[in-house]
Amino acid sequence: MKVLTIIGARPQFIKAAVVSRAFKEHRPDVREIIVHTGQHYDANMSEVFFSELEIPKPDYNLGVGGGTHGQNTGRMIEKLEDLMMEIRPQWVLVYGDTDSTLAGALAAAKLHIPVAHVEAGLRSFNRRMPEEINRVLTDHIAEILFVPSASGRKNLISEGFSEAKIKMVGDVMYDASLFYKDKARKPKLPAELDISGNGFILCTIHRAENTDDPHRLTNIFQGLAASGKSIILPLHPRTLRKIVEHGIDTPQNVWVIDPVGYLEMVWLEANCRLIATDSGGVQKEAYFFGKPCVIMRDQTEWVELVEAGWNRLVGADPDLIASSINKSFEPEVCKPIYGTGQSAQLVVNLLCQ
């Protein structure tokens, strides 16, 4: 059996690596062909990136990226269609909610190749987010919906999906966090930064709704400043450009460092006191490492973490950001939300039935 895996962003490489490992360990009879659309070109995706994370290098790189959502998606569909007609896989496997995910699902559907969607059922209920459109459309195309949590299943049932298509497998990112935790390494930090004592706050900001709006971005930095805590901010290139463009000064208590690799990010997540972020993936990783998380967005697709008390939605309100960083969280003690760390094996077993 041939499985065509389509990925386009660095987090997807890490998710796909976990599943690829499960294919090799449990189904050596399956041939997996990995396609990188090129959606997110990252100069750090060198030989070191793949070897350190034990990630298989893509079999194909389509080199599509740098355009608008429509331009990228259209070009990806065109190139993926040609590739699928040549390879003729039995399954197309897609992850998450990127333009690459939607393009892979659409190209496969037009060729009558069944699609399996990892991270199905997530909803922020904000149709202004391109990710929401991508995940909703991909779910409606897919033949198998690999759901990470009970809330995802509930969303799909409420939308009328057949229960036979829905497979509760947990979250493959939890598998990844367990695998990479022991491989994590401390990033290079400013010598004058004291990270002892009560620990530091880890912050990430990259989402367009925050970076493209100077009022929101200014409010976020005001909230971080008002917290008075030592905050480490690996600065995303998009955010750096917007800070310069909007003329925003970063507060003295916010220690800006260069973007970090995944293993360095795992170290920061595992060793911080609290995380403040607008990232979807980092919200979950905070939970995996037992850290409370302040979400600088108005909605989140990971609603179960808010309901359980692990995450707190604060939008771009500076007072809420500061008070939430300083106020102790009391998360609900509950059974594991995202499975037991065997999600990738479940995905492989179900796909190969």
The C-alpha atoms of residue 310 and residue 333 are separated, in whole angstroms, by 10
CA dihedral 247→299→200→333, nearest 10 degrees, is 170
Residue type at position 336: P
The vertex-321 CA angle with 319 and 327, nearest 5°, equals 95
The C-alpha atoms of residue 292 and residue 56 are separated, in whole angstroms, by 33
**CA within 13 Å, CB half, 111:** 23
The C-alpha atoms of residue 191 and residue 97 are separated, in whole angstroms, by 38
Q: Which two tokens stand for residue 103?
A: 């393009």
Sheet holding 274-277, edge to edge: 254-257, 231-234, 201-204, 274-277, 293-295, 311-313
Q: What are phi and psi of 223, to 5 degrees?
A: -65, -40
Pairing of strands 115-118, 91-95: parallel
The SS3 of residue 116 is strand
The C-alpha atoms of residue 207 and residue 236 are separated, in whole angstroms, by 10
Q: Does residue 112 carry a catalytic annotation?
A: no
DSSP assignment of 199-268: --EEEE---HHHHS-HHHHHHHHHHHHHH-S-EEEE--HHHHHHHHHHTPPPPTTEEEE----HHHHHHH
Q: Which of 206, 215, 236, 246 is catalytic?
A: 206
- Return the active site residues: 206
